[in-house]
Amino acid sequence: MRRIRPTRHPSPRGTAAAQPVQISGNVASGFEAVQYVFGENFAQREELGAAFAVSIDGALVVDLWGGVADPSGTRLWERDTLQVIFSGTKALVALCLLMLVDRGQLDLSAPVRRYWPEFAARGKEATRVIDLASHRARVPGFATAVSEEDLVDDVRMAALLAEQPQDDDPRAGDVYHALTYGWLCGEVIRRVDGRSVGRFFADEVARPLDLEIWIALPAELEKRVSTLRYAPSWTPPSWWDAETLRSDGLLARVWNNPPLLPRDHLPSNRSDWQRAEIPGAGGIATARSMARLYDCLAHGGALDGTRLLSAKTLAVGCREVTRRWEPLLGEPQAFAVGIQLQTERHAFGPPPDAFGHGGAGGSVHCAWPSHRVGISYAMNALRNDDTDPRARALLTALYEAVTRYRCRPR
């Protein structure tokens, strides 16, 4: 690895950064183009603060960070800065499910009621664990009104979901479970193992692999978390307007109960939100640790002498369960057991076998198993482009570098 000297790039437009952006970190020989694109994101693509990490065979070949950790520009993004990864958390939950499968404690084809009897209420007795894990449970939103404050109580959220019937809207079977996924799958983990999903992940994944990833952040680490903000180009999707939300009950239940990305503030910047177990969208991590985790998954579930689960179980977990057009988001989606697979959008870069999970606003975390690569891009400026140019530019440059690296496709 070659340590780069801190380099200066023009400040992104629309930020309060008083000085040119500082880029720091390390890149291996042959990956200099990735460093260049990372700097370009600040000058040309509304980047505020970000980190990008790539791990190959257990070694970091790219470890970059830069910009500022809050909109005022008073805090630089440091080596140890943490970032909310939103739906990138769902893959962490999926991994916990698969580890229980690997231990013979959980059957994906079994009805949820076997492990969580209360879930059978209101006609849901036939719903299987695999339905929860692949966004097909028809419980994509809450039937009763909930507030931002309610979201920090994972036990209550799971109880509410157990009590309600499946959504009778014909589209519900193909709708992404934006928040409910986490509480549904998390409660199954609690009922099977006795630990919450956040505790299970900390004990069984983060500690063995020495990862700085949390589903429920310790209070003493809050000062390291970067503050999220909307990028200057952010505009709410057209279907978020009041008229559409009034006329489309399913849309309102999924995305407006409570509003998941309110324009005037971001609930995920709150301390209570960051400390809570919100397993559908509340994970907090460094890009470095997310890349290491996906490197482990790219190697069949083992890295540096630590095995999380068998390669056979991981292969089952990465097998396609559903591929569909998501009717509310208006985009193609493909899911294995809670893990996103490639679609024609190539959100995870060029490799067709890439898998992982993105997060709201543009973060991307994924594995390229044919190249034995783990990747993570985390940032604090939220964009809502159909195809975020920041991650796409980084993944394109990385792919060109990887194909020239010693690590060739098998």
pLDDT of residue 16: 46
Mapped onto helix, strand or coil, the DSSP state of residue 100 is: helix
pLDDT of residue 18: 43
d(CA 260, CA 410): 41
CA dihedral (356, 357, 358, 364) positive or negative: negative
pTM: 0.94
Q: Please give the DSSP secondary-structure letter assigned to residue 54.
A: E
Please check whether residue 44 lies inside any domain of the structure.
yes
Q: What Å distances lie between residue 314 and 8, 225, 341, CA to CA?
A: 42, 31, 14
Please check whether residue 276 lies inside any domain of the structure.
no
| pLDDT one-digit tens code per residue, 1-50 | 556 555 555 555 444 444 578 999 999 999 999 999 999 999 999 999 99
φ, ψ at 368 (rounded to 5°): -115, 85
Q: 46 is in which domain, residue-wise?
A: 2-81+282-306+335-402
pLDDT of residue 264: 84
Instruction: Measure the N-to-C terminal CA separation of the chain; round to a whole number of Å.
Output: 24
Please check whether residue 12 lies inside any domain of the structure.
yes
pLDDT of residue 15: 47
Tokens (6 digits) for 202: 């900390």
CB 10 within 8 A of CB 43: yes
Please check whether residue 99 lies inside any domain of the structure.
no
pLDDT of residue 193: 98
Please state the length of the chain: 410
pLDDT of residue 10: 55
pLDDT of residue 260: 87
**Segments of the chain with pLDDT less than 50:** 13-18, 407-410
Total number of domains in the chain: 1
Please check whether residue 393 lies inside any domain of the structure.
yes
Please check whether residue 198 lies inside any domain of the structure.
no
In sequence order, what are the residues at sequence separation of 6 or more whose Cβ sits closer than 8 angstroms to the Cβ of residue 233? Answer: 46, 383, 385
